[in-house]
Amino acid sequence: MVSKGLVLQAIFALLITPQSSSTTLVKLSYGSFEGKTSENLVEFLGIPFASPPVGPLRFAAPVKPKAFHGTRQATSFAPACPQQAVMPLPQFPPISVPPANISEDCLYLNVIKPAKIVPGKKLPVLFYIFGGAFEIGDTTQVHGDSLVNRSLDLGEPIIYVTASYRVNAFGFLGGKEVQAAGLGNVGLLDQRFALEWVQKHIGAFGGDPKKVTMQNEGNTQGLFRAGAMQSGSPIRLPGILRQQKYFDSLVADTNCTASTDRLKCLRDAPFDQLMAAVNRTPTFLSYESLNLAWQPMVDGKVIVRDPLVSLQQGTYAKTLQHRTNAEYLEYMKSNYFPNLADEDLPTLESAYPDDVTQGSPFNTGTANALTPQYKRLAAVQGDLEFQAPRRFFSRIASKTQPVYGFRYTRTTQPALLGVRHGADRDEFVGEGASPEFIGTDALIYLTCNGDPNPPEGSKSLLQNVKWEPYSSSLDQPPLLTFVDGESRVNITFDTHRSEAMELLTRLSLNEIGKPF
């Protein structure tokens, strides 16, 4: 006679068999979702993690999704959040083509997991936050299937999650009315809300909420154990009141000027009218460049102090058509350093000289100079917004936790952009990655083990490189450097343009708390 225990074991075995249809069904506290299989993976696409941010929830913090009965399909990507129209300059290829399918109802996430998970084993999770200068971007930028497949090849399986969040004015509206309502930085709140969803629900997919690695960053302390920053670092941010002019611009373009409650009027404005008003504001390809109209702001609530000050104080999560020199200096002062002292002008001028051969793309002589000041501005803005903040962060954070730095120098197109912002993305996320998978492997090992270096016996080519933590040398911090040629990677040191970057950091810190 067959025992009841053996019968129950047999039933349980059927339930967890990878080929069973139950592997594509997940039950959450607010409803059930049916995903789809794709080779060795199961994909759950378009799961709502918040209620639609429409009507009274436009410009508001995210709230929990409503519970429902039955099972919903999770087999296709949800619409992207409203995208600002970024028109490329004639000399540049299109930076991004906004997704054709957009909607204010856009707070959804995607989970991609191995089809076969050992019963009882919880997998580490990589949570990816897309980029786009807070003006554009959506979860389809990096699908994630290549990354999870590579993790299976390495014998280090992971689960990949990516979530949408509101961008441009829908996510980063500023001004006195927004401050009074306590509603700044709702795009960052979307990111945090999605990470909280991961903590609560990823176990249902076989994931370990205690082993979440976040790629990119947000205000998410306690919700992840490791982070991987790509093409970005903590930078000086504007105060929420400085963004008043853009709030007023939307008000004027939506016929809300005479309203006694201008924020409510913007909430009630027809979507097409509001979207047209947003598209009249500057983008990262406008004259203002990286002095963005829509970006995170110091609001005293979500972001309580400037990120550079947070670094100094140790309050961080521990885990262009200019032609003359005068125009260049005026641009830098009006856009970035309005409180620049007269005695610092010559220093800023000499740190980034009026010499096309010293500009960015670096080491290209007189080539790629669209205008007399183009390469000079490219050099100073690249250092100001990316390199100097990255170095500042690495030096401070490495005092309290392991930090591993990398540098990407491989040839990219078009040549006039040099190694542009975002050029390294595919190397790490597996989409079109180079065949050796070095960056992808580093990200997988970081997700699984909290260390990007491979364990002994790994088949990864990272085995051939000794990648030490940033703090291993104060004078010559090591960087894993992606290069052209047969070696593909080597170790260089984070010492380039040191004096110029120290100047930019000092000037940036000096601007904090002063009127713009």
pLDDT tens digit sequence for 70-111 = 999 999 999 999 987 775 544 444 444 555 688 999 999 999
pLDDT tens digit sequence for 263-295 = 999 999 999 999 898 888 876 655 455 556 677
What does the alpha-carbon distance between residue 266 and residue 276 come to, in Å, rounded to a whole number? 13
**Average pLDDT, whole number, for the chain?**
77
What does the alpha-carbon distance between residue 387 and residue 505 come to, in Å, rounded to a whole number? 10
Cα 204 to the center of its chain, rounded Å: 26
3 state SS of 274: helix
pLDDT tens digit sequence for 236-255 = 566 677 888 888 988 999 99
pLDDT tens digit sequence for 312-348 = 555 444 444 444 666 667 777 767 777 888 788 888 8
Residue 218 has pLDDT above 60, yes or no: no
**What was the pLDDT predicted at 312?**
52
Residue 417 has pLDDT above 70, yes or no: no
> How much of the chain, in percent, has pLDDT values that exceed 70?
73
Structure tokens, 469: 């933590």
> SS3 string of 216-245?
CCCCCCCCCCEEECCCCCCCCCCEHHHHHH
Cα→Cα distances 14→37, 120, 205, 420, Å: 17, 15, 17, 50
> So where are the chain's domains?
21-231, 325-511
149-153, 302-306, 337-341, 375-379: which is most confident: 149-153
Q: Phi/psi of residue 26, each to 5°?
A: -130, 135
Tokens 């058509």 sit on residue: 321
What does the alpha-carbon distance between residue 106 and residue 104 come to, in Å, rounded to a whole number? 5
Structure tokens, 296: 């995170």
Alpha helices (H) in 433-497, listed in sequence order:
438-449
- Nearest of 61, 56, 94, 104 to residue 278 by alpha carbon: 104
Alpha helices (H) in 438-484, listed in sequence order:
438-449
Name, in order, each residue with C-beta under 8 angstroms of 12's C-beta and a sequence gap of 6 or more. none
What does the alpha-carbon distance between residue 395 and residue 399 come to, in Å, rounded to a whole number? 7
Structure tokens, 475: 């004078």
Q: Could you tell me the sign of the dihedral formed by the alpha carbons of 118, 122, 123, 125, in that order? A: positive
Q: How confident is the model at residue 11 (pLDDT cuts 50, 70, 90)?
A: very low
% helix, strand, coil for the chain, step of 5: 35, 15, 50
CATH of domain 21-231: 3.40.50.1820
- Nearest of 234, 390, 226, 394 to residue 318 by alpha carbon: 226
Please, are residues 470 and 478 in contact by the beta-carbon 8 Å criterion?
A: yes
Please, are residues 85 and 132 in contact by the beta-carbon 8 Å criterion?
A: no
**Regarding beta strands 25-28 and 41-48, do their DSSP bridges make them parallel or antiparallel, or are they unpaired?**
unpaired
pLDDT tens digit sequence for 143-157 = 888 889 988 989 999
* Largest distance between two CA atoms of the chain: 94
Q: What is the mean predicted confidence (pLDDT) over 362-366?
A: 74
Residue 408 has pLDDT above 70, yes or no: yes
| Geometric angle at alpha carbon 264, from 258 and 270, rounded to 5° | 90
What does R_g of the chain's alpha carbons equal in angstroms? 24
Please, are residues 203 and 193 in contact by the beta-carbon 8 Å criterion?
A: no
**What was the pLDDT predicted at 321?**
42
Please, are residues 428 and 441 in contact by the beta-carbon 8 Å criterion?
A: no
Half-sphere exposure of residue 314, counting CA atoms within 13 Å on the CB side? 4
Cα→Cα distances 26→70, 148, 474, Å: 12, 19, 49
pLDDT tens digit sequence for 192-210 = 999 999 999 999 999 999 8
pTM above 0.85, yes or no: no
